[in-house]
Copies of this chain bind each other. A is one copy, B any other.
Amino acid sequence: MNMMVIPERSGTAFRLSAGKMLTVVDPKGEQVADLLAFNADDMDEAISSGRTLDYAETIRLTTGHRLYSNRSNAMLEIVEDTVGMHDFLLTPCSVDTFHHFYPGQPPHRGCFGNLAEALAPYGIEPDRIPVAFNCFMNVPIDGETGKLRVLPPISKAGDHITLRAEMDLVIGLTACSAPDSNGGSFKPIHYRIE
């Protein structure tokens, strides 16, 4: 299929059949894409940061790692990754996070609002949105103090991550709307299914 475009500060949702490859591209560099996955046959099975980090024994997920569901089933496997720096600790930005981190700026519904709208046709309620796998998001942790920082992504124009579906999925995907995580500017995200 052709490359699809997610315009800046927006999101989409689509089906991804088992065995298909999803490539998420950062076309301009320094742009985060929040990714969610649900079992297409049972939306109560959803991507789980806690299961994934437990099995991977690392917070730095890259080629060869699998993303697991709340039921401990593999949903996606990372098969190619030109960046190697993604976040799986933080929830999608929302009106509330804008009020918290950017009190002087007009609040945006953020990735949370964009995902909620895109996933609604699949019967997924906003309260079912878990911690997302945040492609290209750069959240280093100080091993001594535990403090985390949200820095500009290290991804360059054209960098990408490819994931293979291990079951039939509904995917939610955004071009992230938060200033800090995207180096201060909002850019599109591209994706392709093969």
CA distance A42 to B156 in the complex (A): 43
- Contact A58 B127, CB 8 Å, known A50-B49, A91-B51: no
Nearest-neighbor residue (CB-CB) of A128 within chain B: B44
A57 and B149: CB pair below 8 A?
yes
How many monomers of this protein are in the complex? 2
Interface residues of A in 118-147 (CB under 8 A from B): 125, 127, 129-132, 140-147
A143 to chain B, nearest CB (A): 3
Q: For the side of the interface on A, what is the size category?
A: 35 or more
A5 proximal to B (CB < 8 A): no
Decide if A54 is an interface residue (CB 8 Å cutoff): yes
Complex-state Cα separation, A46 to B131, whole angstroms: 13
For A50, the chain B residues whose CB sits under 8 A away are 49, 89-91, 130-132
| Contact of A94 with B by CB under 8 A | yes
Q: Which residues of A contact B (CB under 8 A)?
A: 44-46, 48-51, 53-55, 57-60, 70-72, 89-91, 94, 96-97, 100, 125, 127, 129-132, 140-149
